[in-house]
Amino acid sequence: MGNKPPNFSNSDNPAADSPHLLTRTLTFLYLPAANAWLLLCPVQLSFDWSMDALPLIKTFADWRNLHTVAFYAGFTLLAWYGLRSSPDSKAKETNGKAHLANRKALTNGHSYHPPDGNHNINSEQGSPKTNGKTTLNGNGFTKTYQCSPQTSLATLPSTENVVVFSLGLLSLPFLPATNLFFYVGFVVAERLLYIPSMGFCLLVAVGTRALYVRLRTRGPRVVLLGLCAGLVLLYGIKTVLRNRDWSNEEMLYKSGISVNPAKAWGNLGNVLKNQGKMAEAERAYRNALYYRGNMADMLYNLGLLLQENHRSSEALHYYKLAIGSRPTLASAYLNTGIILMNQGALEEAKRTFVTCAEIPDENLKDPHAHKSSVTSCLYNLGKLLHEQGLQEEALSVYREAVQKMPKQFAPQSLYNMMGE
């Protein structure tokens, strides 16, 4: 990156590349709501949410705007509840447990007194000793003054404070991913929800506890606890099933086909090719291109597979499509030039190699692979010129290749050709 902002392709974050302010605004406002839904109901998960996994919101008529409004309304209400200050809140329930205010406890009711006719119950005779005094006022209420710190209950954080803390834990770690300060290279990333999920779990626990306290009878409380147990069980089953998807690359990419078919089919094709399943890999690449036909990497991978299976004419077609989709893809120029040389189209091959060598070294997806491909193009161009008897031009090309070659490039072949 250096002193420059990172460069992302259009497929990484389509909304950031949209020229329409309304589309960018509505989509970026919706993304936090989509992430919240993944926390609330993680039914559909994916290893990748780029490209068209979440279509752009272009108008106010899109029904997903209702999700956005509901999310921000709920978040605002929770924040208001947590930040509001009530004079009586300190004397009320704290996290579902009663506490003592000013070290006093008021008991509404009547006390039983022995039949001695003495209504002054300050006497210590005939009653267990306490570290305080109990008096009876004229209204029949008893007031107990607690004097020992050992008998006071530890004050727990108030529900409001827990809500504020939970919202902070939920939102602050996620804030850099909202595209508010700078554009990011993804649409949704489940890994970013690890820390916010802790705040979310706290909110669920606080809400469940508050509901449990409000339910006064045994039946509804049992139902609530049963629902909580069922929810934990369902999430546990979902975790086990999702772990199976992560058991290997093939399973993982197959699981993502329903969310991001273009990316999932393309990655699955790479895995199948490495397994030697060429026919299945070709079908996977073609499926990926069916959903997104301008993916330069996928066009190149399909061309490479066809070239390795001695289907050069078909491979050449896909290499040219890859170049048209991404004019800086040096490896596509290299393989195109090699096929043209093998077909005897030497002048076209020469032009292809020259074009590859002139690609600027800026805003590249993989600079190291680019430099290696450019060096290989110059090597083949020099070799072609050498075979045509143009020794001075070939030597000049080899020298340029030596200057541009990356550190990991083996220079022996270049020096050998220069020696000839």
Residue 245 to residue 255: CA distance in whole angstroms: 6
Alpha helices in 181-248 (DSSP H): 194-214, 218-245
Residue 104 to residue 113: CA distance in whole angstroms: 22
The amino acid present at 165, given as its one-letter code, is: F
pLDDT values of the chain reduced to their tens digit, one per residue, 420 residues = 455 666 677 778 888 888 999 999 999 999 999 999 999 889 889 999 988 889 999 999 999 999 999 999 998 988 887 777 544 444 444 444 444 344 444 444 444 444 444 444 343 444 444 444 444 444 444 444 444 444 444 566 777 888 888 888 888 989 888 888 888 888 888 888 999 999 999 989 998 998 999 998 999 999 999 999 999 999 999 999 999 999 999 999 999 999 999 999 999 999 999 999 999 999 999 999 999 999 999 999 999 999 999 999 999 999 999 999 999 999 999 999 999 999 999 999 999 999 999 998 777 778 888 888 999 999 899 888 888 888 888 888 888 888 887 776 766 666 666 655
Residue 323 to residue 319: CA distance in whole angstroms: 6
Q: How many helices (H) and strands (E) does the chain have?
A: 15, 3
Token duo for residue 366: 């993989």
Q: For residue 397, count CB atoms less than 10 angstroms from its CB and return exposed for 0-12, middle for 13-18, buried for 19 or more.
A: buried
- In eight-state DSSP terms, residue 238 is H
Token duo for residue 12: 């990484």
C-alpha separations of 170 from 125, 163, 194 in Å: 57, 10, 10
CA angle 153, 155, 158 (to 5 degrees): 140
Token duo for residue 9: 């392709």
